[in-house]
Structure 1
Amino acid sequence: MLKMNYLVKDFLKFFVLIAAILFCLGFSSPSSENLSNSPDFSQGIRYLNEQNYQEAILKFTQVINDKNQWIASAYSNRCLAYLQVNNNQAAKIDCEEALERNSENIEAYLNKGLADYRLENYTQSLVAYQEVIKRHKHDYRAYYNQGLVHYKLGNYQQALESYNQALETNHEDSLEHKTWIYYDRALAYLKLENFSQAIANFTHVLILNPQDLQAYYQRGYAYQKLGNYQGAFRDFTEVITLNPQLTSAYINRGIIAGNLGFKEIAWENFKIALDQFQQQNNKIGYNRTLNLIRKFKQITSNVYQTPIG
């Protein structure tokens, strides 16, 4: 059997779709109070719920300018609206203003943590999530987001511990949120080179969401690292079924086919990848695939008569 150990995974090395994903559980629901005497605040909440964030910002700004009793909640909700339009510095400032007026505002801490994460203020982000945990130790969002920060910092074991706590404290019925946690926990296991546990977590993701292309892709990589080429081949085939235009999946399936000794299938997949890169006018991808084919030819030249001219 041929051994080809240069499977495509790293995005910077070869166009892979997968990366650690910030799923933003820090986003909170708009905080509302007795709105009967504050039409601007009420309209701001309505605009938030309708995802009309610019109008929401205008309404909350009016409440803040009026300096009335809803000012703390207006800052908190305007922070949320700013996050939704990726104005992270403004969001951070508003959440800090909200916390100056109400230091027990859990949602403001969560959203401040997210703003700091996006601004790469990772230490401050962790502090914000610790403030949530101090006040509400069963808030799984804080543990999960804390895990994302640790992952970003390269603290994969600490990220894993945070994801474990998130799963232990997540008593909601949201399968979507649980899927996110299992997925990111699997990524942490990958970084720790615990491929068996990574596979187990990606499998859990796929039980919850059988259409998760990224879970198939990463599980295929983990299978390959363990030498389970049949499992890897099946997963990259699933990826191609879900997205026939994902060129890197053909490259990976070709490499796996080579490891299994399926020479013709390997060439077929490399040819599809070349054609797709050519259609995309992706010269870098095209040339890298040609280099891969040359390496494959060198490996197979003493075993097979190569069909590519």
Structure 2
Amino acid sequence: MVSSSTTGTPFPKWQIAIALGTTGAIGLGYWYLKNTKNSRKTKITDVNGKSITTSASNVTTDENLTPLKRAQLHKTDGNNSFVAGKYDEAISHYNKAIETCPKEKKIDLATFYQNRAAAYEQLKKWSAVKEDSTRALELNPTYIKALYRRAKACEATNDLVQALEDITEVCILEKFNNQTTLYMADRVLRQLGAKHAKEAMKSRKPIMPSKHFIKVYFSTFTEDPVLKYLKDDGKLKDGTHGFARAIAAMKKQSYDDIISACTEEIDSSESEAQFKLESQLLRGTFYLLVGRHQDALTDLQAIIDNKEAEVKLRVNALIKMAALNMQLENSNQSMVNFEEAFKLDASNCDLFHHRAQVNLLLGNLTAARDDFQKAVDINPNYAVAHAQKCYAEYRQAVGNMDVEKLQSVMLDFEKLTKKFPDCCECYALYAQALTDQQKYEDADQFFQRTIEADPDNPTVYVQRAVLQLQWNSDMDKSIQLIHKALEIDEKCEYAYEALGTIEIQRGNLSKAIELFEKALVLAKNETEMTHLFSLKDAAVAQQKISEKLGLEHSAFVLNS
């Protein structure tokens, strides 16, 4: 935030500086003192170069003044009115400055238009702000104040594409050294990304996630009532009905066949459909995974409302409904779903584990840690919950700057990797914590151990690639690791995102945009789309402005 001026005026210092065309405290002090005097004296020179002193109210009638000098004095009157908060009066003076100024004096004329735009901004007349800023830029194409002002007006009127282009150009011209404009660029990117994501979701085509993603998803459930049939399918020996075929498809990882098989079971007559509810739960789960949110809601709600359904079925449906509400950015309803589930079964390990994950996403670290603790109390051998509990404690210690607790958590992580040597989650989260602390060599070793524990996990290859960039800026090795991830899983959204970011750093903006588009096709929800659109929109704006300014490229990666 910018502090207010101590001169007693209602405007921040930077606003006065922009309006007056002055820089530094001396200029501000001069104009403020000048404005408090009843008779405003201005020292000027006549057409022959002779110095004269006269009042600003009379000097404009002096026949010895050049048109430019008259225009500058009108601007001075406008500036004084602006500082006094008389914006309509300031606009009138700037009008006269514009009318009087010779057309060939482009830089001066641009300043007058920009000052008038500043007055219009105070009146929130955004169309006029954009129009005058544009005129100023036609006269002075790299006029930073005019670009910044037009960006603000465009943001205020939801013209976010133009706002992003303008603020990107400001960032490039300022060599990314101004935090105020960087923050604005990030803010506009988030807004534009959210707008594009909302529009894209309307026409999004459902897509089945990768086999590895689905495997990891189901591994987070220890009490899923459908998964028991993967181990004990004695009741499904004939294999002819829909649910039996769905379970067979699960075993073979033929996930594209599951929804249709479940639908066959659900649509069968009551006497034939022995596993109708199980089929509805499994179909609802896959609707959730592919992003068919309304269909998922319908199936899950049917199970939740069925009072005769087994408790474990209803609890599992409520957990997945909570996940669905998180994807729809309705965290309050997600928590309501969890509360409903706890009323049915307060001893379900999956309930605590999944609510902990939601709390972790929401930044409720204490609640997340407590829920993870309850999950491991119920199931002491649940390695993933142990690892995530450690990670929640790690984030809490970092946030509280608790050095003693941080050291303790890191020791706990190391103990977990020995207690659960086959759990890649333990290695991966420990490696992330080590990376945060810039212990890159140790982090790399644990990422390598993660790969050894789960060689088909594409995400770990990408995480290790990102580490290489942070550690020694090794782009070649990073790219090699990311391509390995894509060989394992061509649907790895994270790999396309990371590769696109690297291409931005290398100046290959067109390639980066192409990679972000590939990631967008694989995005599973609106939140992921918002993030990816922000990256793509930043690259598109940077490419356009770099071409406009005749630059090869300028690294412009914000925390979107």
Q: How far did residue 77 of structure 1 move?
A: 2.0
Distance in 1 (alpha carbons) for counterparts of 2:279 and 2:441: 52
Indicate which of 372, 376, 399 corresponds to 1:167. Answer: 376
1:221 is aligned with what amino acid? D
1:179 is aligned with what amino acid? A
Q: Aligned residue for 2:245?
A: 43
Q: 1:51 to 1:91 in 2, by over 3 A?
A: farther
Q: TM-score, normalised by structure 2?
A: 0.37
Distance in 1 (alpha carbons) for counterparts of 2:435 and 2:239: 57
Matched, 1:99 2:304: yes
Indicate which of 131, 140, 143 corresponds to 2:349. Answer: 140
Q: Aligned residue for 1:60?
A: 262
Q: TM-score, normalised by structure 1?
A: 0.61
Matched, 1:216 2:424: no
Q: Percent identity?
A: 16
Alignment of 1:1-309 (within 5 A): 24=217, 25-26=220-221, 28-30=224-226, 35=236, 39-68=241-270, 70-101=275-306, 102=309, 104=311, 105=313, 106-171=315-380, 173-194=381-402, 195-207=406-418, 208-209=420-421, 212-222=427-437, 232=439, 234-236=441-443, 238=445, 246=464, 248-250=466-468, 252-253=470-471, 269=472, 272-273=473-474, 281-283=503-505
Distance in 1 (alpha carbons) for counterparts of 2:428 and 2:324: 28
Task: Kindly indicate whether the alpha-carbon contact (under 8 Å) linking 1:220 and 1:233 is maintained by their aligned counterparts in 2.
Answer: yes
Distance in 1 (alpha carbons) for counterparts of 2:357 and 2:462: 30
Task: Kindly indicate whether the alpha-carbon contact (under 8 Å) linking 2:321 and 2:334 is maintained by their aligned counterparts in 1.
Answer: yes
Task: Kindly indicate whether the alpha-carbon contact (under 8 Å) linking 2:262 and 2:283 is maintained by their aligned counterparts in 1.
Answer: yes
Q: Aligned residue for 1:3?
A: none
2:505 is aligned with what amino acid? K
Distance in 2 (alpha carbons) for counterparts of 1:200 and 1:38: 52
Distance in 2 (alpha carbons) for counterparts of 1:245 and 1:45: 33
Larger Rg: 2
Q: 1:192 to 1:115 in 2, by over 3 A?
A: farther
Q: How far did residue 146 of structure 1 move?
A: 0.5
Task: Kindly indicate whether the alpha-carbon contact (under 8 Å) linking 1:205 and 1:215 is maintained by their aligned counterparts in 2.
Answer: no
Task: Kindly indicate whether the alpha-carbon contact (under 8 Å) linking 2:430 and 2:446 is maintained by their aligned counterparts in 1.
Answer: no
Structure 2 residues without counterparts, runs of 5 or longer:
1-185, 187-212, 450-460, 481-501, 508-552, 556-560
Per-residue displacement from partner, 1:262-281 (whole Å, max 9, x unpaired)?
xxxxxxx4xx5477689954
Q: How many residues align?
A: 244
1:182 is aligned with what amino acid? C
Task: Kindly indicate whether the alpha-carbon contact (under 8 Å) linking 1:61 and 1:78 is maintained by their aligned counterparts in 2.
Answer: yes
Q: 1:209 to 1:92 in 2, by over 3 A?
A: farther
Q: How far did residue 135 of structure 1 move?
A: 2.7
Distance in 2 (alpha carbons) for counterparts of 1:245 and 1:175: 21
Structure 2 residue matching 1:120: 3-state secondary structure: coil
Task: Kindly indicate whether the alpha-carbon contact (under 8 Å) linking 2:241 and 2:265 is maintained by their aligned counterparts in 1.
Answer: no
1:283 is aligned with what amino acid? Q
Task: Kindly indicate whether the alpha-carbon contact (under 8 Å) linking 1:186 and 1:197 is maintained by their aligned counterparts in 2.
Answer: no
Q: 1:75 to 1:156 in 2, by over 3 A?
A: same
Structure 1 residues without counterparts, runs of 5 or longer:
1-11, 13-20, 225-231, 254-268, 289-309
Structure 1 residue matching 2:337: 3-state secondary structure: helix
Per-residue displacement from partner, 1:232-281 (whole Å, max 9, x unpaired)?
3652453686679946535655xxxxxxxxxxxxxxx4xx5477689954
Q: How far did residue 198 of structure 1 move?
A: 3.8
Range with bigger deviation, 21-30 or 111-120: 21-30
Q: How far did residue 143 of structure 1 move?
A: 0.7
Q: 1:77 to 1:241 in 2, by over 3 A?
A: closer
Range with bigger deviation, 116-125 or 242-251: 242-251
Q: 1:277 to 1:64 in 2, by over 3 A?
A: closer
Distance in 1 (alpha carbons) for counterparts of 2:446 and 2:339: 38
Distance in 1 (alpha carbons) for counterparts of 2:269 and 2:259: 15
2:325 is aligned with what amino acid? D
